Structure 1
């Protein structure tokens, strides 16, 4: 009855606040019965249909999708339809949980129910298509906006620019930036960050730097994301000097550094084998009250591998696991490759067993090198055991021919390895 009174007098936020508290407290065992209870007292209280909308919107904000969907269906059955704002809350929550496919299904249902979208709805539809890699459909929505009575916003263009950058379609992304300016919209920091990230991922740092310069020229202040993206780009190319210059500029401009900034700097130093300087930066993390994470450890492990210190690299890997972080496939492959290059095949096997426990498959060429090394050390038995375990765990990498490895290995002939 309180909900009916609040919604009747358009106190929607208060109604939603009460609903949220009730649902969080768990004082109602079956949220699905809420609709029936509200429906039963609806006519008694001479209520507003918005009471059902508040229920749907609250479920959407709380990411209770099953309850939200059921409420939407029940509303339709009784001739009630949610507002576009509530539908947008539902779409937004779906996108946050990476359910772009369901978001598009729901949008089509909105169209069938003749719930008119607004510009925020269409921006989320563009985002959903971009997340699914359906860029042509996303562009089509943008082109139809005018005929639907809406003007594309900065967010509309930014979403398309990011979608094209993710696919490496950088020339198309730049065209949308130019079209954006042509339509009287000013590129934002998000626009420039997406383009810089796109060029950095493609290793086109000269172009990324050009976008960075353009950004400053039009008085769009670079933020933490801008600097982190560029520092990481230069670090991956092994240019720690340029990364450090950007870090100094970042400090001068009073842009806050994060653990991501330091990880990028550490990676750049490690890729150049400058492990002492990297260790100095790790000490600085404590002073800044940043906690080393998986990326910090991975960068340090890579630095030791570059210096061919396989034992030290493996110790760091164990320390990483003890700290509650999980090495990824790239880190394990790098470690095993380092052990193989040092002809420490027992150490490589130890790392491989750690990979087995995490159901990771080793790179085919590195596995071939390991098996060849073990056979040369007359340890054919270990090769058979490893191949047998990989087969049992279904971890045979693509391109690795186990039969060709085992047959010559057991007979002592020269190995015929397909990489």
Structure 2
């Protein structure tokens, strides 16, 4: 965005006017015949001319079809299949201008997305006057690059558009903002937002909603709130997405008082809370393990006659599962079934986790058997929950068998699962098993946290396997997988004197 800010656009660059030589003689004859075949859809007759269709002749033919975008597009597709050698950037540009003039933007963006963007703008610019085109052709290019996440190219096109006096539409600017946020680049999104506010582009409510989201992602909730309050000053009305964005941002920061205040503002603006509003609040409370407050919001949701969906129930179930309250999880699940909401793998994973946290592994296994009946496939979270259950029961051998089954099924354990297994083996003083899991973990380029590693190394040293501990430490250090905060010198201190000197 720096290059945008540095340019003042006080002096616009002229739009070049490039012409092509007039068609004469055999060129004109072939163009006339081909034009007749195209407008009458005599494609079989056009085949005999394919070898004679030079880039020059194709350009003239496309120019002659500018008022018929349907035939122009059909010819373009025919050329790509039967005479690709006649295709040039100039012919692409003429087709693009034709589609832009007839407002065929979806087709235009599809065509533009299939070509390298480096020289597209220049080619479109040099054929702009030749085709008596619309400025929206450049806007479509900008939007296409935004949708395909080619941000450097999109920024370059934006700058060039402004330099030549073409303003992007707010819709294309919104596409750019949306793509930046989808890749979690709120800093660049806000820089671009400030740029379009300085320019002649009038933001709409979607623009401001994305600016709010960007501020929320950066944790700058007061700035997001300022945008919400400023909407009415510029003639815009905040919608339900505006409030939901801010509520979600507050919940992510644990600012539930502020989130509830924002929810109360919805009524003042005549905006009804929807399922996303309540889900955001429930999710926030569940993450903080404030299940009583989450249940209260769930009750408010039903009073407001907002129908809970699968996300609502899964969020609550996961909240109760994380704290090991299988009884409340079962109640929520029964209500879910009464409401006719179909359970998915996330539903079962939450129920299984709740049971496993309480060590109820047999009941959890019963739910796993139900998955096949529901045409659901266990995933990494399912196996991790089952491993948790065996670890709670201090059954490291069964936990390891579940882990092996997990790997065979193609599911990838995460750091938490590995650390849980290592800790379980250590508690059962099966340090060979713990080392085997650690090696599997290192093979996946993961490293345990320092506390788990201390637990393992302390056990190895206590049973006289100091040299193995030191060897593992060296291996992890060589592979740059030694966790921060782990003091390898503590291992050396515990080694016998003869091992230190070897």
Q: Shared fold by TM > 0.5? A: yes
Q: What residue is the counterpart of 1:327 in the other structure?
A: 413
Find the residue that maps to 2:234 and give its secondary structure.
Answer: coil
Find the residue that maps to 2:127 and give its secondary structure.
Answer: helix
Task: Check conservation: 2:329, 2:351, Cα contact below 8 A.
Answer: yes
Q: Distance in 2 between matches of 1:252 and 1:183?
A: 34
Aligned length: 405
Q: Distance in 1 between matches of 2:287 and 2:365?
A: 26
1:221 is matched with which residue: 303, 307, 330? Answer: 307
Q: What residue is the counterpart of 2:441 in the other structure?
A: 355
Q: Distance in 2 between matches of 1:228 and 1:352?
A: 32
- Structure 1 pair 5/366, CA: closer, same or farther in 2 (3 Å)? closer
Q: What residue is the counterpart of 1:20 in the other structure?
A: 110
1:291 is matched with which residue: 370, 377, 382? Answer: 377
- Structure 1 pair 178/308, CA: closer, same or farther in 2 (3 Å)? same
Task: Check conservation: 1:228, 1:264, Cα contact below 8 A.
Answer: yes
Task: Check conservation: 2:97, 2:131, Cα contact below 8 A.
Answer: yes
Between structure 1 and structure 2, the one with the greater Rg is 2
Find the residue that maps to 1:42 and give its secondary structure.
Answer: coil
Find the residue that maps to 1:317 and give its secondary structure.
Answer: helix
Task: Check conservation: 1:196, 1:226, Cα contact below 8 A.
Answer: yes
Q: What residue is the counterpart of 1:172 in the other structure?
A: 258
* Unpaired stretches in structure 1, ≥5 consecutive residues: 413-419
Q: What residue is the counterpart of 1:5 in the other structure?
A: 98
Q: Distance in 2 between matches of 1:228 and 1:326?
A: 22
CA displacement at 1:140 relative to structure 2: 1.6
Q: Distance in 2 between matches of 1:23 and 1:176?
A: 41
Q: What residue is the counterpart of 1:50 in the other structure?
A: 136
Find the residue that maps to 1:256 and give its secondary structure.
Answer: coil
Q: Distance in 2 between matches of 1:299 and 1:141?
A: 42
Task: Check conservation: 2:356, 2:389, Cα contact below 8 A.
Answer: yes
Q: What residue is the counterpart of 1:188 in the other structure?
A: 274
CA displacement at 1:338 relative to structure 2: 0.5
- CA displacement 1:273-293 (0-9 Å, x = unmatched): 111211121121112111211
Please tell me the root mean square deviation across aligned C-alpha atoms, in Å.
1.7
1:275 is matched with which residue: 358, 361, 364? Answer: 361
TM-score (norm 1): 0.92
Q: Distance in 2 between matches of 1:36 and 1:366?
A: 59
* Unpaired stretches in structure 2, ≥5 consecutive residues: 1-93
Q: Distance in 2 between matches of 1:326 and 1:410?
A: 39
Q: What residue is the counterpart of 1:153 in the other structure?
A: 239
Q: Distance in 2 between matches of 1:3 and 1:351?
A: 58
- CA displacement 1:162-194 (0-9 Å, x = unmatched): 001001111111111111122221111111001
Find the residue that maps to 2:167 and give its secondary structure.
Answer: coil
1:309 is matched with which residue: 395, 399, 414? Answer: 395
CA displacement at 1:411 relative to structure 2: 4.4
Q: What residue is the counterpart of 1:162 in the other structure?
A: 248
